[in-house]
Amino acid sequence: MQTLSISFLGRDCPGIVANVTQTLSGMNCNITQLTQSILGGEFAGIFIVDVPDGISMADLKTGLEAKLAEQSLDISVLIRKAEEERWDSRLSPCEPYVVTAEGPDGPGLIAALARVFARHGINIESLKFVTRQDREMSALFLFEIEVPEDCDVGRLRRELESAARSKSLSVSMQHRDIFEAMHRIAAS
């Protein structure tokens, strides 16, 4: 058995997940992890799949592309060997944090905060970004990050606040356990 990462990107429409999973099942492949999202009319999905040794990456790609084309689905397929271990297990132990930011939309918002994370050796596990139009275009984003235990969290907060101020953003950083507990209380 080989473990592969299969990425799909293209115009969203009903039937993509059904076609992909049916094709994988028909080739005796087992999906072990999956994430998918729709952004601005575009479908993006990443599947981690256990594939029988007798099926090559080229054969798998050909089978998936044929099934998607048969349904006139405009989707690109990328297949590669899946990494066996996650980033955070290769380095020092990490703690999960959630960073939220909000303010006027404009170029460089994500880059300003992402540069701070990179300087501190922080991995971005998930990022959600949306713009909304109330009186003016405003941006709201949420980073889920893995902060190495040896990171100076106080310094990290100060640098995030400085980067956020430079872009007229307000920013908040909380340990994920606290963030989730507060949102459970708010929902009650």
For 69-118, how does the pLDDT look when each residue is reduced to its tens digit (9 = 90+)? Answer: 888 888 899 999 987 665 554 567 888 999 999 988 888 888 999 999 99
Q: Which two tokens stand for residue 162?
A: 């400085």
**Mean pLDDT along residues 63-71:** 88
One fold for 2-81 and 88-187: yes
Task: Provide the sign of the torsion angle of the four alpha carbons 10, 13, 19, 21, taken in this order.
Answer: positive
Provide the pairing of β-strand 123-133 with 42-51. unpaired
Q: Nearest 5 degrees, angle CA 117-CA 83-CA 145?
A: 20
**pLDDT tens digits for range 122-144:** 988 888 887 776 667 788 888 99
Sign of CA dihedral 2, 5, 10, 12: positive
Q: Which CATH class, in words, describes the domain spanning 88-187?
A: alpha beta
Tell me the pLDDT tens digit for each residue of 5-48.
999 999 988 888 888 888 999 999 999 988 888 888 899 999 99
Residues in the chain: 188
pLDDT at 28: 93
pLDDT for the residue 128: 86
Q: Compute how many other C-beta atoms are within 10 angstroms of the C-beta atom of residue 50.
A: 15
Question: Binning pLDDT at 50, 70 and 90, where does residue 187 land?
Answer: low
**How open is the CA angle 91-85-141, to the nearest 5 degrees?**
75
Strand order in the sheet with 75-81: 30-39, 42-51, 2-11, 75-81
First to last CA, the chain: 46
Measured from the Cβ of residue 94, the count of other Cβ atoms closer than 10 Å reads 21
Going from N- to C-terminal start, the domains of the chain cover 2-81, 88-187
The residue written with tokens 């798998």 in the block is 60
What tokens appear for 18 in the block? Answer: 């059904």
- Could you give the count of Cα atoms lying within 13 Å of 118 in the half-sphere of its Cβ? 6
CB 172 within 8 A of CB 121: no
Q: Report d(CA 6, CA 64) in Å as an integer.
A: 10
What is the reported pLDDT for 89?
A: 45
Looking at domain 2-81, does it have CATH number 3.30.70.260? yes
Q: What are phi and psi of 176, to 5 degrees?
A: -55, -40
Q: Encode pLDDT of 143-176 as tens digits.
A: 999 999 889 999 999 999 999 999 999 999 988 8
* Residue in the block written with tokens 């949420």: 142
